[in-house]
């Protein structure tokens, strides 16, 4: 038995499913998860000493690769000054200044500890601000594990076949409306059927949680107009796209400014941080400025703000990072599409900036129904063939690849060679 297998056996005795977040388990692809030991740059090393080129990057935040000196230095400097105060600190102010400078919609911001906290809080604030109860989300979008979002949810919930989670009460579920992504007419119909009842529309402006799906031309602008017209708070969940698709996230890339934005892991440089922010009049509803309550001892934790500030400052001061990511990701995604074509597969590859997905279907993928047409057993075989060749992908068709600046030309070639061999292996006649 490998050390990973031994650890997984022990973990299954004590941790539900043996993992602390379902998407880490290999349920959709078979086999046992790999336990990691360390990482540097593009490379992950597991507890058995095997190495992999990382295309998950902690689900996005390791945009500069693993253990970048600029972030480690900041944490080393902060470390001797203690680990938590539960009191305000200078870096919280500096991080708020940077976030408001970089993200177009954010005039005021509150730090929390995860993307889930950010989305739960943003929706509560939208409800407090509007005095309305209902929210609208899109099928296959994932906004963390708050009750209100576990209806037609993406990511691990979709992968495990539980997009509507047990444990979410009828009362909560009835306040969440869902419509297909990229379907503006369906949104208009939902608003018309629930006049003056919608507090918020929340969306991943580029979806990463049913695989990578981009917004159709005019979709985000159309939603913006509808929200303005009907007094609905428009929330961009940029937990994965923030600071990744552009310094100001998808809202900068598409030129559509929401009322509120939720941010996650990337603003902690790998440490647990999230944030929600937006228009000052909306954010002034948050306690103690206003009456909508939200709190947290670890919010603005001194190590997390040190890491996050260092990473975001680097991104702010080095816009060339985005050009590099664009060039590398284009080579990876275009190469993947070309290889699939040469093998007669014609699979769909969706890409926006440094996020992309290879869907195991020749049909275009614009929404969840399209994504679900993928050949999941073939994806599972491909996943394991890539892993065997040292390429670490998310263990689900319904997740995106995240590219870091640590991916060199040589690693692009390694990935493309593995991709060709793995696609062939995944489609070889089964014994
Ligand atoms: N939602 C993130 C990726 N789709 C991953 C976080 C997790 O669920 O572990």
pLDDT digit string, tens, across residues 15-63: 999 999 999 999 999 999 999 999 999 999 999 999 999 999 999 999 9
Q: Is residue 25 part of a domain?
A: yes
Q: Which domain holds residue 237?
A: 69-317
Residue where a domain stops, chosen among 317, 335, 367: 317
Q: Is the pLDDT of residue 203 over 70?
A: yes
Determine the atom of ligand 1 nearest the C-alpha atom of 145. 8
CATH value at residue 139: 3.40.640.10
User: 66 forms bridges with which residues in the sheet?
Assistant: 41
Contact 383, 376 (CB under 8 A): no
User: What is the atom index within ligand 1 of the atom nearest the CA of 400?
Assistant: 4
Number of domains comprising the chain = 2
Residue 214 has pLDDT above 90, yes or no: yes
Task: Let me know: does 224 contact 68? Beta carbons within 8 Å.
Answer: no
Q: Are 130 and 167 contained in the same domain?
A: yes
DSSP string, 39-85: EEBTEEEETTS-EEEESSTTTTT-TT-BS-HHHHHHHHHHGGG-S--
> What ranges make up the beta strands (E) of 69-157?
108-112, 134-138
Ligand 1: residue of 18, 21, 157, 401 to mutate (most ligand atoms within 8 A of CB) is: 21
Same domain, 58 and 150: no
Q: Which residue's structure tokens are 């969940």?
A: 237
Position 156 scores a pLDDT of 85
Q: 108, 134, 137, 265: which is the annotated catalytic residue?
A: 265
180 with 295, same domain: the answer is yes
For all residues of the chain together, what is the average pLDDT? 97
Q: What percent of the chain has pLDDT over 90?
A: 94
Query: Containing H/E element for 4?
Result: helix 3-14
Please check whether residues 46 and 172 belong to one and the same domain.
no
Structure confidence by residue, pLDDT tens digits, 49-59: 999 999 999 99
162 pLDDT higher than 80:
no
Within a domain: 27: yes
Residues 363 and 347: their CA atoms lie apart, in Å, by 7
Same domain as 415, residue 284: no
What is the spatial distance between Cα 236 and Cα 255, in angstroms, rounded to a whole number? 13
Residue bearing the CA closest to ligand 1, atom 5: 59
Question: Is 237 assigned a catalytic role?
Answer: yes
The answer to whether residue 97 is domain-embedded is: yes
The residues pairing with 286 across neighbouring beta strands, listed in sequence order, are 292
Residue 26 forms part of a structural domain: yes
CATH classification at residue 404: 3.90.1150.10
Cα 59 to ligand 1 centroid, rounded to whole Å? 6
Helix 302-317, helix 69-78: angle, nearest 10 = 150
What mean pLDDT comes out for the span 74-94? 98
Q: Check whether residue 125 and residue 181 sit in a common domain.
A: yes
Segment 107-124, tens digit of pLDDT: 999 999 999 999 999 999
Q: Would you say residue 350 lies in a domain? A: yes
Could you give the 3-state DSSP secondary structure of residue 153? Answer: coil
Known catalytic residue at 341: no
Output the six-digit token pair for 120. Answer: 């739960």
Say whether 142 is catalytic. yes
The Cα 306–Cα 90 span in angstroms is 10
Asked if residue 347 and residue 384 are part of one domain, the reply reads yes
429 pLDDT tier (thresholds 50, 70, 90): confident
- CA gap 272, 113 in Å, rounded: 5
Mean pLDDT of 289-314: 98
pLDDT band with cut points at 50, 70 and 90 for residue 103: very high
pLDDT in tens, 372-394: 999 999 999 999 999 999 999 99
Q: Per-residue pLDDT averaged across 288-304, rounded? A: 98
In a domain, 431, yes or no: no
The confidence score (pLDDT) of residue 431 equals 66
Residue 96 lies in a domain: yes
Q: Are 325 and 353 found together in one domain?
A: yes
Residue that finishes a domain, picked among 317, 333, 367: 317
State the catalytic residue, choosing from 142, 254, 276, 382: 142
Q: How many percent of the chain have pLDDT more than 70?
A: 100
- If asked whether residues 166 and 105 sit together in one domain, one would say yes
H or E element at residue 276: strand 274-278
Q: Which residues contact 169 (CB under 8 A, 6 or more apart)?
A: 147
Using the predicted structure, report yes or no on whether residue 160 has a pLDDT greater than 90: no
Q: Is 23 in the pocket of ligand 1 (CB under 6 A)?
A: yes
Give the SS3 label for residue 114.
coil
pLDDT at 161 over 90: no
Residue 162 and residue 151: Cα distance in Å, rounded?
Answer: 9
Both 140 and 248 in a single domain? yes
pLDDT band at 158 (very low <50, low <70, confident <90, very high): confident
CA of 220 to the centre of ligand 1 (A): 23
Q: Is the pLDDT of residue 165 over 90?
A: no
Q: Is residue 15 located within the same domain as residue 83?
A: no
Q: Is residue 115 a contact partner of residue 272, using CB atoms and an 8 Å limit?
A: no
Q: Are residues 292 and 390 in the same domain?
A: no
Please report whether residue 170 resides in a domain: yes
Summarised one tens digit per residue, pLDDT across range 175-190 is 999 999 999 999 999 9
Which residue, 271, 296, 317, sits at the end of a domain? Answer: 317
């Amino acid at each position: 038995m490998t050390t990973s297998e031994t650890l997984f056996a022990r973990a299954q005795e004590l941790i539900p499913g043996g993992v602390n977040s379902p998407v880490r388990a290999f349920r959709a692809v078979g086999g046992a998860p790999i336990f990691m030991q360390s990482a540097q740059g593009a490379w992950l090393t597991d507890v058995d000493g095997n190495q992999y080129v990382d295309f998950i990057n902690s689900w996005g935040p390791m945009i500069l690769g693993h253990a970048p000196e600029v972030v480690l230095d900041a944490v080393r400097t902060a470390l001797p000054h203690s680990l938590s105060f539960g009191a305000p600190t200078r870096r919280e102010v500096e991080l708020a200044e940077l976030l408001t400078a970089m993200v177009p919609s954010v005039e005021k911001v509150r730090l929390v500890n995860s993307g889930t906290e950010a989305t739960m809080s943003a929706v509560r604030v939208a409800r407090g601000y509007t005095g309305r109860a209902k929210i609208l989300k899109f099928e296959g979008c994932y906004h963390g594990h708050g009750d209100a979002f576990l209806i037609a949810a993406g990511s691990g919930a979709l992968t495990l076949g539980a997009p509507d989670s047990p444990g979410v009460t009828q009362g909560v579920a009835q306040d969440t409306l869902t419509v297909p992504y990229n379907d503006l007419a369906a949104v208009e119909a939902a608003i018309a059927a629930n006049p003056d009842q919608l507090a918020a529309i929340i969306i991943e402006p580029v979806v990463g949680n049913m695989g990578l799906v981009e917004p159709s031309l005019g979709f985000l602008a159309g939603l913006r107009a509808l929200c303005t017209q009907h007094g609905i708070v428009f929330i961009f969940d940029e937990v994965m796209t923030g600071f990744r698709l552009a310094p100001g996230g998808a809202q900068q890339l598409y030129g559509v400014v929401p009322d509120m934005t939720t941010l996650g892991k990337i603003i902690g440089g790998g440490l647990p941080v999230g944030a929600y922010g937006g228009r000052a009049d909306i954010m002034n509803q948050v306690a103690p400025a206003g009456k909508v309550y939200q709190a947290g001892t670890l919010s603005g934790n001194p190590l997390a703000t040190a890491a996050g500030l260092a990473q975001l400052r680097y991104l702010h001061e080095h816009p060339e990072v985005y050009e590099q990511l664009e060039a590398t990701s284009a080579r990876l995604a275009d190469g993947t599409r070309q290889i699939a074509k040469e093998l007669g597969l014609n699979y769909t590859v969706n890409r926006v900036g440094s996020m992309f997905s290879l869907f195991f279907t020749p049909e275009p993928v614009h929404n969840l129904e399209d994504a679900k047409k993928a050949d999941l057993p073939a994806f599972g075989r491909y996943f394991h063939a890539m892993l065997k060749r040292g390429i670490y992908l998310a263990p689900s068709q319904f997740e995106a690849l995240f590219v870091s600046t640590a991916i060199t030309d040589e690693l692009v070639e390694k990935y493309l060679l593995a991709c060709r061999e793995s696609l062939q292996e995944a489609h070889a006649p089964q014994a």
